[in-house]
Amino acid sequence: MPANLWFYTQLINIEIGEKKANQKTLKKIFIEFLYRKYRISKYDLSKKTIFVIVREKEDNDTIINLYGDIWNSIDDLKQKSNDEVIKYVKSIKLKFNKDGFDDWIKSQKIEKNCNNC
């Protein structure tokens, strides 16, 4: 599953109450998203920070700025209510469901329909 789609589903899980709507949960899934998207290993993290690794692997400055804004906003949610966390989740989730999932969905259909694989 593409990392953006995974993150989007996790945000929905927070929104609908499947996961706790708090700053810690949101921060944890955001970090996991970065690990998945940029294939960051524990070895990589022993050599560099997550921010340095993402910066080296991501060419698009708009994406880098978005991640920085999300990180800072998550930090700002420390003393906020669950409702504020959900409000923030709603504001960012749509940014993560647009990343060319057609190819992934098609590959899933092919794998499921393959009888001789």
pLDDT at 38: 96
| pLDDT bucket at 32, cuts 50 / 70 / 90 | very high
Q: Quote the number of domains for the chain.
A: 1
Geometric angle at alpha carbon 26, from 24 and 27, rounded to 5°: 65
Stated pTM of the model: 0.81
pLDDT digits (tens, 9 = 90+) for 70-111: 999 999 999 999 999 999 999 998 888 766 544 544 555 545
Its domain, for residue 74, covers: 3-113
Q: What is the mean pLDDT of the chain?
A: 87
pLDDT of amino acid 116:
52
Most distant CA pair in the chain, distance: 55
